[in-house]
Amino acid sequence: MSEEYWKQNYNTKLSDQEEAQFKQWTDAQSKALKRNVSEDDSDYDIRGYWLNEGYKSEAAGHMPDTYKKPNHPTFSNESIYHGQLDPKGGTYDGGKWSGNDKSGWTFEPTYRMLTTTHKVEDLKRYMDANEKKVKLKLPRLYPPFSVDGVSERDALYNAAMKEDEEAERN
């Protein structure tokens, strides 16, 4: 689905008064962060965050998974959109975070994520650029695809899995 679809969907509805207050908040946050915070709405329900936790400043750090949209690279089972119906069929199935600040964090996307909303190579690039200290754990394929007629996406996924398995062995 297009970025425009994600910008227009999975957004908390605000009243006109709340929308005006939200705009003031995004303007202040944008100035503090030196970037346009309102552009985060392509993969994050920034209005939901503001309405429910708006007293917090995004400048303080990472926002919670609670309002990540299904197309966010680290969309997880902690999102309010986990389990929501996918217009193309089925439900959105978010990945899982495990670990802690002391031992380190691991993110494991679901197989459904990797075959519907996220490409493995894009997710790896995102993690390398934005989540450098997080280990990406790709899920096991079920069933394994080793027959002719494998889709390009599954072939890329299989190649990434092999690469990760070889890296773990070394």
Q: Taking the domains of the chain in order of start, what are their residue ranges? A: 1-63, 70-170
Q: Write down the pTM of the prediction.
A: 0.78
The Cα-based distances of 134 to 7, 73, 88, 104, 163 in angstroms read: 27, 13, 30, 7, 17
pLDDT given for residue 8 in this prediction:
92
Helix, strand, coil percentages (3-state) for the chain, rounded to 5, are 45, 10, 40
Structure tokens at 167: 């890296």
pLDDT given for residue 58 in this prediction:
56
Percent of the chain topping pLDDT 70: 81
The answer to whether the beta carbons of residues 50 and 68 sit under 8 Å apart is: no
The answer to whether the beta carbons of residues 134 and 156 sit under 8 Å apart is: no
Residue 50 backbone zone (phi > 0: left; psi -120 to 50: alpha; other: beta): alpha
| Least confident stretch, 3-7, 91-95, 111-115, 150-154 | 150-154
Residue 47 burial (C-beta neighbours within 10 Å; 0-12, 13-18, 19+)? buried
* pLDDT of 2 above 90: no
